[in-house]
Structure 1
């Protein structure tokens, strides 16, 4: 169970959108106490509604506020001297008081330099305010008075003659305690996790504020290492001055090295955008910026010691009280890092009671089996053998099915050796509709660990419905989205690979997808999709691929190549392509026969392109062309056949001399980036008259600036 599972929705539970609603008199505290309180809540990751931060422009304010109150678990009411002067504040307070007593809802009054008894009895400033309201003959006055009386009787915080910063710290800690820092919202579906989290926290020795500890989580795939680390992180991160959760670092390292992870760690802990260009710089920054900071870092999915060395190298990199949590399948990595056996938590499989409860939650939305399903439940648990991921997937696939369907599925599973948990997962995948299964296989082969929006964009280009499909995969426990990233258990990924290979596991030429460099070398034709990840081959040992092989692949819908070595001539590219991304494209032009009518996005960053194509090509679906860093590009192509183009990125095309006049005819172009095209001397005047263009980026176009006799930004449509 290397991922988080969220609880099922229930009609009997109130739906919370915000954790805290802040009610206050803007003239009194908006830019002082309330602003500081709001910032303190945000620093601890508490989702807070504050009217000048959350209201959408153009919406009616009052209904939005009332709705936000209903959707908040806690209301903090800052009662200041002129609070009652505002009918707006009083209406807000009356709405807040309506919810007092409802399960899970809390109101905390903050008496900001006012006497609680004055609030309760409407004396002093509050009496003067109500005298004005009563002269106005408002029929709301009795309700307002009742609300003030009610909130004035609640236990709250009296700010008079006290340190505001100290009170704010107390309030934030009280809120965190009342929220249980989100763990309660996960516990319904994380069977057995609370006891494990509490046991692991003992190893962290959180009461000690001086020592710096490295602690490990170790166990087999699917046992729940990542889930445990994420839950503990959620429970304790508010105790630290800075924190960062780095998920699946081995995947990131293979795809883009450690630079992105180093940058993420610095941004989330130091709190500012940190530019890291190479690993040595990142290591130096991490080792110096956090020395005085009490920091919590989770480094998840470590498979190489170098990852630890460059992300959380030594104890002295971090301030007193810091805790570094490492999850890995390889206990030798922990041993090498010096994490003692007494500081390693081994994640065991579920016991019988936990396995039964988890299965029932998934299959029946209950802690016990439905009548008549007891024996069948026992049989499925025997098959799953206490592996949390297998239990979750099986239980979800059986939900709402009849007994006859359970028996049929169990009979089918009996044909597969029970030691092969992979078969359990594969059965669940094959229960999907074909389109959803295609999305699952694409995610398994290409998009595991990728940004959700990026994956959905490409899947959408390929003609799928990823918004629905991804949701279905999440509902079936086949996929989870964590911090905007697609996560899939390793065993599920193996299922996707098996489906892609079909009945020919030893013949890559017959697979529906290719995702490893070594497999492409044995291929002549592929019917579906092609993508290459380079991690299976050392770049220094990489043999060139023959371009003629790629030229023979006529039915590709997707190509994503990192920088690779090619030999020969590229005579052809599949006209079925929907998305083409090829870093350092080695050829000077695209093949003359290449005219993909369904191509949506063309990305050739740092390419060797001199001219993209000759003449006019009919590319009606093409919306994005990205040629950044293509220094040999001399001129943009004729774009008359690309009428739906929306984005053209030519940043860093230092050899570019001319932009073709056809660009002025594009009525849907919104983005044109010519930054650092320092040899550019010609651009159509019609581009400055475009009604669709929103961004025109020209910094660094020195020759063009001299020719057009302008300096700096040219107006609202140009960025500097």
Structure 2
């Protein structure tokens, strides 16, 4: 909310003005200037109204000079006797000085004077300057002449031509223009930006600003939560907003649409662009009609930040012909499908930060420096590596470390370095086990929007399947009735996973940690009560103490390379999984026990198993219950053509993938005629 004060309340100097009025009191103090000031005051525009008659001497005092420098817009009101005041002319020179330094905009008003008279000091201005030239030094007079000429050449308002001598009408036009100009101020952005120019240039290229392109363009910025989409959009907005007649940046469009509805979103768009206090929109259809009717001839910039599939963009930006030629619309979203619907084929997808930029951003928040102090460089690198180059994580974690373990001395020098190091070491260890809650909260928004089957697929990937072939996973999930082709497409569109050139699924480290934390939260104390197990020590504990339950759907362990450094576990036996520990896990559908030694018959109760990976399995293993098995991986196993397991694999009617790579003792192909779906 703006505040306003009148001149000469010099106690308000320093609070920041928006408009500075320069005028000749004997001409306009009690009429035009007063009415204009009151009109600006009424809508909350903080205006400085100077009255040169109250000052002693010709030089403007520091308070008035400060008011000029603080203001965003200066309005010199040229009247018949304006040039008779040396005070007014000195004010004008200071205004021009600020204008040349791009500190202020200038909008002159010609009040019952002809602009040419002001520009060339003729007419009512001629006599005043004849006197000045006789009494004052030429440099001073020349400075006033130049200032008058420069301002008179600027776009302004002529009472005679613009309003046909109707002062009330002219004041309405001025207030509307001032309001519009002030509403187009840059958006606030953090001072700790790193590498932002690269992203701005990429988006600017898509927007095609500055060309003769008169089409309305819609550009998308797509990526996972916390990657910096909003910051990029704000930076682009600040770079180009002055090219447009009206601008609107609607933050948190998803949440606004869900909590306040489409009519509120339409109203915000109209208010921002047309500067209406209340457009009185009562229905969606009315809002659509108003947007189409009032904005079709305006060149506008619209940013809709954080849009999701539930945000009906058709009621807000509809078609391109709703807006004037040259308009630009930017949409940021986590969901690529939102952009596909609106025909945005090539959105900009910001990537994770590299190590150097990550360290710089982290350091700006953790140390208020561009680089970490040498003493903390190694620890800072460890912290940064846990973030996966995600800007949100770098900012949140860096800010949480700022000041911790520091003892401020007189000049702000760090004292207790050992304590600082201990704090950072603990932070590194904590982040390896438990991801930052604020970062996870932001990322979890996309997860919560998924359907149940898609959530299950996301969790499977996070816990087990990063780096696995997409086609193999589709077989597994199809056997689980998860509709994998559709599900994978949704996960990709929401930037939750990527598919690399080798057709393997990839996931950002922070998303992986999100999935694993969701599983950990299922039961903080008892891993055997969780749906998925992947940590080796937890698996050993759960299986060998028979703490597993029917809640366990997936278990993944690989003893290859693990056994050499841990020849015996704390049970006093070689690393060995007891088959009895699996007995209660009747809902297991995903099982990986690569290179494991298991005592007993492993699969006696696994009627729901779809994926079994047992690389390097012993010859005594037989998959006795394989009715729903879809993928079986026996790589590096010692099985032969006489292996008893072939008799049981015949009953795996749904088996589609069988991996026998590097089974060197297998001299001929077994009979697979019963496995009709094997591909």
Task: Report the TM range for the smaller structure's normalisation.
Answer: 0.3 to 0.5
TM score, norm. by length of structure 1: 0.44
Q: TM-score, structure 2 length as denominator?
A: 0.46
Q: Highest Rg: 1 or 2?
A: 2
